[in-house]
Amino acid sequence: MRRWLAPLPLFALLAGCPGFGDKTLAELEGITDVPTWHADVQPIIAGYCQPCHRQPPTGGASFALLTLDQVRDHADRIRVRAVQLGDMPPGGGGLPDAEKATLDAWIAGGMPEGLPTGPEPDMAVVADMGAPVDMGAPVDMGPTVDMGPVTLTWDADISPIIAESCAVPSCHGANPPTGGLNLTTYAGFVAGGFSGVVHGNGDVDQALILMRLNAVNGFSLMPLGGPSLDGTKIDLIEAWIAAGFPEN
C-alpha cells in the first residue's frame, strides 16, 4: 500500500519513547536474554489471548492464536494492540508490564522457538476445542457477545498515537495549531489545515499525513525535529486511512 517507502521493521523495541527515557521495556523489566516461545511467550498467549483467540475464535476475535506459527503471523498486530496501545486483552486493563516487555523482547529478538519445557500438547485435540467435554456443572459466564471483526478507529487506535507525537502544545495541539491543522480532535483531523485535507479521502498515496510521516515527495519529516514515528504506528495509521478513517 505505501509504495514510496522501503519496508520498515515492525519489531523494534520501544527505545527512546516518551516515558521510557533511553531504556527499552525489556531493560526496565530486567530482561537480558531473548525470551523463547516455549519458556516465556506461550504461557502469556495461553493465559491472556487464547480464551478468545481459540478455534473457532470467540468474543469478537477474528483469528486463532493456538500455535507458534499463528502467533508469528499476527506478531505485528499483537505488538501494536497488546504492547504499544495496551488495549488487549480487552476489559482488564491490558497486560502487566512484565508480560508486555517479554512479548516485545521476543518479537524484537526474532521470535525464537526455544526448547519445550514439558510435553507438547496434542494439537489435534487443541484445534477441536469446540468439541463437548464433560467438565462437570457448567459455569454461567453470561452470553457471548459477537463484536465482529476488529476495526481500527480514531478513538481506540489512532488518537493515542497522534496525541503522543503530533497533537502536542508546540505543534498541532497549539492554539492556534501549526499549519492550521488541529489534531487534538477527530473533527480537526478531518477538516485538515492550510494545505487542505490530510487523509487523502482514503487514498493512502494522496494522504498528506503519510507523506509527512514518511518524509517523501519533497515533504520534511514529521514530527518536526524527529525522531520519525515508529514504522508499526505509521502502518497502523495507513491501514486506518485505507479503511475510511472511522472515528469510532
Q: What is the mean pLDDT of each run of 10 residues along the chain (248 residues)?
A: 34 39 73 91 90 82 89 91 84 83 92 77 50 50 50 92 89 90 95 92 94 86 81 92 94
> Is the domain of 31 the same as that of 103?
yes
Q: Please give the pLDDT value at position 140.
A: 53
> Is the domain of 109 the same as that of 169?
no
Structure-block grid coordinates of residue 183: 489534531
Residue 191 CA to residue 33 CA, distance in Å, equals 47
Q: Are 182 and 172 in contact (CB under 8 A)?
A: yes
> Is the domain of 113 the same as that of 186?
no
Structural domains of the chain, count? 2
> Is the domain of 174 the same as that of 226?
yes
Of 89, 81, 16, residue with least CA distance to 46: 89
Note whether residue 6 is domain-resident: no
Residue 18 CA to residue 4 CA, distance in Å, equals 28
Note whether residue 136 is domain-resident: no
Q: Are 84 and 232 in contact (CB under 8 A)?
A: yes
Note whether residue 145 is domain-resident: no
> Is the domain of 163 the same as that of 102?
no
Note whether residue 7 is domain-resident: no
Q: Please give the pLDDT value at position 185.
A: 95
Of 174, 165, 149, 171, residue with least CA distance to 233: 165
Residue 196's SS3 state is strand
Domain end residue (candidates: 117, 136, 171): 117
Q: Please give the pLDDT value at position 130.
A: 52
Looking at 111-231, which runs of residues are DSSP E strands? none
> Is the domain of 104 the same as that of 183?
no
Q: Please give the pLDDT value at position 162.
A: 92
Q: 173 is in which domain, residue-wise? A: 154-242
Sign of the torsion formed by the C-alpha atoms of 22, 25, 31 and 36: negative
Domain end residue (candidates: 66, 91, 117): 117
